[in-house]
């Protein structure tokens, strides 16, 4: 998890995805290294699983395949949730990258790295850096599958969950086939008045036979989008939250307040008594609704990134700023205590004491 509201720009960053962790910029042992000025990774998920699953070294590829899935009845050409989720995240990756390049306006383009995983799957990592508007922007997708040890599955889910049966008592658990896919992104503009954005959306499932001991059939969705500004501009924060609410309200009016609180709580940095930013939505282990509905919900959330964020960037990318503003942006990517009553103090207060923006 990011240890500050914004990451110190001079830090070197390595984003790593493990199969059960789903998304931290790649899959398997894939690493997207943001050397120098960089962005904070999405929060670590399923860290206990990461230590339990053997990670295979990725293989660089010259170009992305039409799909990372195999033609095995539940993969390519099957119309399965995993196939449609992969298609969605790859489409959204392209749409977000195109929107960011247009907003940057410098002619800078995302550099793409493609990799495959010997055990199954692969990913596409895209990075734009040193543009006119964006200091660094990463938009990554991964689709991985294989087999995890039963201990890793139990660490991931805790128990059998809501849509699977528990293992029969006394039976020895076997390896658990898994599938994990997601899109993950961190966007750092140069202008201190343009906020940082984090988003990631992921899908995870196990596909063991129903009678396999210790390996119940299971699936869940997770993800979220959150805003981390250096300065509070209420017009921008309200716009961002209104788009999140609109996406949620299309499916369930309880989603926005529930997932906003989840986001506020999840990104609370206990030892500093503050939150990473001004929130958004966040959810995990979501499988207590119809699977098709949740697939559509995750799609709607991912598709809301561009309308939620790009209008803010367009409004703020050319805002004049001083060296003091830039210094404050850098400090917010670290840690400091501002003087009470200043604009900087108001931001910190809003991070510590989340408010209702709508």
Q: Which ranges in 228-335 belong to alpha helices (H)?
A: 234-249, 255-266, 291-303, 305-316, 323-332
Residue with tokens 């990318």: 317
Tokens (6 digits) for 293? 């509905």
Euclidean distance between CA atoms 30 and 25, whole angstroms: 8
Catalytic pick among 198, 241, 271, 325: 198
Tokens (6 digits) for 263? 């986001």
Tokens (6 digits) for 217? 């059939």
Tokens (6 digits) for 251? 């499916």
Strand-pair category, 274-275 with 280-286: unpaired
Euclidean distance between CA atoms 339 and 272, whole angstroms: 17
Residue with tokens 């998920």: 45
Contact between 176 and 228 (Cβ < 8 Å):
no
Task: Report the sign of the C-alpha dihedral through residues 299, 188, 100, 182, in that order.
Answer: negative
Euclidean distance between CA atoms 92 and 199, whole angstroms: 12
Contact between 59 and 118 (Cβ < 8 Å):
yes
Euclidean distance between CA atoms 245 and 257, whole angstroms: 8
For the CA atoms of 89, 94, 95, 101, what is the dihedral angle to 10 degrees?
140
Q: Any catalytic annotation for residue 241?
A: no
DSSP tag of 283: E
Which strands, in side-by-side order, build the sheet including 218-228? 59-61, 111-116, 121-129, 134-148, 176-189, 196-206, 218-228, 280-286
> Catalytic amino acids?
198
């Amino acid at each position: 998890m990011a240890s500050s509201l914004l990451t110190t720009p001079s830090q070197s960053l390595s984003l790593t995805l493990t199969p059960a962790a789903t998304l931290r910029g790649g899959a398997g042992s894939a690493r997207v290294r943001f050397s120098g000025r960089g962005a904070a990774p999405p929060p670590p998920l399923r860290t206990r699983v990461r230590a339990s699953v053997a990670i295979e070294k990725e293989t660089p590829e010259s170009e992305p395949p039409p799909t990372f899935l195999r033609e095995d009845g539940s993969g390519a050409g099957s119309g399965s949730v995993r196939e449609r989720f992969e298609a969605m995240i790859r489409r959204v990756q392209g749409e977000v990258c195109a929107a960011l390049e247009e907003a940057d306006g410098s002619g800078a383009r995302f550099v793409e790295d493609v990799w495959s995983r010997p055990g199954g799957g692969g990913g596409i990592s895209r990075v734009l850096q040193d543009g006119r508007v964006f200091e660094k922007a990463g938009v990554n997708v991964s689709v991985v599958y294989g087999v995890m040890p039963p201990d890793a599955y139990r660490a991931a889910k805790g128990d059998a969950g809501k849509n699977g049966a528990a293992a029969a008592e006394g039976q020895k658990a076997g390896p658990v086939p898994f599938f994990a896919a997601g899109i993950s992104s961190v966007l750092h503009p140069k202008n201190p008045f343009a906020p940082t954005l984090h988003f990631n959306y992921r899908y995870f499932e196990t596909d063991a036979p129903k009678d396999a001991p210790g390996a119940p059939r299971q699936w869940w969705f997770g993800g979220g989008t959150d805003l981390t500004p250096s300065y509070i501009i209420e017009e921008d924060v309200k716009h961002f939250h209104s788009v999140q609410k609109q996406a949620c309200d299309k499916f369930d009016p309880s989603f926005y307040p529930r997932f906003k609180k989840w986001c506020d709580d999840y990104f609370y940095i206990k030892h500093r008594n503050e939150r990473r930013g001004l929130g958004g939505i966040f959810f995990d282990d979501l499988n207590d609704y119809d699977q098709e509905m949740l697939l559509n919900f995750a799609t709607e959330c991912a598709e809301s990134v561009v309308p939620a964020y790009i209008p803010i960037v367009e409004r703020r990318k050319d805002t004049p700023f001083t060296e003091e503003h830039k210094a404050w942006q850098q400090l917010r990517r670290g840690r400091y205590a501002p003087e009470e009553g200043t604009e900087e103090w108001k931001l910190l207060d809003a991070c510590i004491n989340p408010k209702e923006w709508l």
